[in-house]
Structure 1
Amino acid sequence: MERVGREAKLSQSTLKQSTQALIRQLLFSGVMIPGEIYSANSLATHLGISNSPAREAMMALAANGLLEPVRNRGFRVVELSEHDRFEVYEMRVLIEVEAVRQAAARDIGVEVIEKIVDLAQESVEKLPASNREPALPYLNADHDFHMALVDAVGNSRWSKIVSNLRDESRVNGAYRHLEDNQGLQHSAQEHIGIAQAIRDRDPEKAAALMLKHLEYARPHGYPPAN
């Protein structure tokens, strides 16, 4: 693996959380590959830290379904089947569409609405200029936008479920097919429409736009959600 993260300053009090964040970046960037096994020792060396926080962080990520322990070997990056992907898609439709409807219907405040609008625009600005450029900055902006929509509802459990579902998709490359065409551009532009519907306080339009938007997460050959 390409060496990253050594320059990050990890304070003792937040070492586990910081290490988790660094490993998540390796997972989402594709450096850590689904199906491959990685030891805590190899990751600790890679990140320039001791074994203990690396192992603790990997155990926490395993609890979130991103890694799975392999006895005496380390941790395997979880690999989703097409059916697994469809289950994630169905759950996201059930939860995220309703979250957007609620965000548009409730009095979530001007500051929250403006934040959602700004994050939608930021996702457009973070689009890679070509297929040769990394998509991770856009994917991070995309994640921030989606989580802002759910966070606006004010239900921490709702947010945690959506975050975990999105993490599963990101580790397993649900966006990779979008990078070879105009998919990322279309997805980012759809963010603008969703944000505008929330600003206009139009819950049904916001929900309909989110349902259409989540089509990118539906595996080929599986039926669309109603």
Structure 2
Amino acid sequence: MNSVPALWDGVGSADGARLLTPATLKESTEQMIRRALLNGDMRAGEIYSANALARQLGISNSPAREAMMTLVNKGLLELVRNRGFRVVELSDTDKREIYELRLQIEVEAVRRVAAAGVSTSETEFLRAAAQRTVDLAQRDDMGDYLEADQSFHAGLVGMNGNRRWTDIVENLRDLSRVNGFYRFLATDHYLAESADEHLRIAAAVIAGDAERAAELMVHHLEYARPRG
């Protein structure tokens, strides 16, 4: 059983506690585990111990276990009775279903936002969030890039004002990225191209061109289409 993912290698308990933000221990721990899952630092099929993780971070078992149970409910981890938590291993069918759902609901969300029009503050957010992904793509930092990518997409969908819609999109995006599935974006020119597409999507939404925004989003999601 793998007790602690590579994300925390070399981090002592006191240092680990200092990594936690002023948010609750459970929320901070959940974000750290989620990042390890999306980066591929936690491997599919491996079993991880909440107790070992809690010891290394210098926190009690309760917030670590609660964080991992939340990720179980989101479909990113599986509870293995009396052993710990296993990273989910998505089948080709799982990946195809997630991709097809994203095409349906994420594209429609973007179309509606563009058709409704965006405010000055929303325009500023879209431009800044898209540019941040471009900047991070140049730094070739997949961990930070994926977080900025999520912020851009969730923020855009969230402009519909439907929290459940946003939650569903965020969860589908996480499911499609678990196990470091998007690491291939760091090769060749894919990461820069993906970031540049954010700029074009943002421009279409800001211009109120709903059909163009939807068309660009369909093309953008091509990177999430299961291969093979």
Is this a same-fold pair by TM over 0.5?
A: yes
CA distance in 2, matches of 1:118, 1:9: 26
AA of the residue aligned to 1:158: W
- Residue equivalent to 1:188: 195
Tell me if structure 2 keeps the 8 A contact 1:108–1:153: no
AA of the residue aligned to 2:35: Q
- Residue equivalent to 1:150: 157
AA of the residue aligned to 1:182: H
User: What is the DSSP-based 3-state SS (H/G/I as helix, E as strand, rest coil) of the residue aligned with 1:174?
Assistant: helix
- Residue equivalent to 2:3: none
- Residue equivalent to 1:139: 146
Task: From 19, 36, 39, give the equivalent of 1:8.
Answer: 19
CA distance in 1, matches of 2:10, 2:172: 28
- Residue equivalent to 2:125: 115
User: What is the DSSP-based 3-state SS (H/G/I as helix, E as strand, rest coil) of the residue aligned with 1:108?
Assistant: coil
CA distance in 2, matches of 1:102, 1:10: 35
Contiguous gaps of at least 5 residues in structure 2: 1-5
Task: From 101, 105, 112, give the equivalent of 2:115.
Answer: 105
Task: From 165, 169, 173, give the equivalent of 1:162.
Answer: 169
CA distance in 2, matches of 1:18, 1:193: 33
Comparing 164-173 with 202-211, greater Cα deviation is found at 164-173
AA of the residue aligned to 2:56: H
Aligned residues: 217
CA RMSD of aligned residues (A): 1.6
**1:83 aligned onto 2:93:** yes
Aligned counterparts, 1:62-81, within 5 A: 62-81=72-91
AA of the residue aligned to 2:37: L
Task: From 37, 44, 67, give the equivalent of 1:27.
Answer: 37
Comparing 1-10 with 116-125, greater Cα deviation is found at 1-10
AA of the residue aligned to 2:183: R
**1:207 aligned onto 2:214:** yes
Query: Per-residue CA shift, 1:132-173, capped at 9, x if unaligned?
Result: x54111111111111111001110000000011111122232
Query: Per-residue CA shift, 1:196-225, capped at 9, x if unaligned?
Result: 00111100000000000000000124xxxx
Tell me if structure 2 keeps the 8 A contact 1:128–1:135: no
CA distance in 2, matches of 1:44, 1:17: 14
TM-score under structure 1 length normalisation: 0.90
1 or 2, which has the higher helix percentage? 2
TM-score under structure 2 length normalisation: 0.90
AA of the residue aligned to 2:61: N
Tell me if structure 1 keeps the 8 A contact 2:113–2:160: yes
Comparing 169-178 with 184-193, greater Cα deviation is found at 169-178
How far the C-alpha of 1:64 sits from its partner, in A, is 0.7
CA distance in 2, matches of 1:96, 1:73: 37
**1:171 aligned onto 2:171:** no
CA distance in 1, matches of 2:115, 2:141: 36
- Residue equivalent to 1:224: none
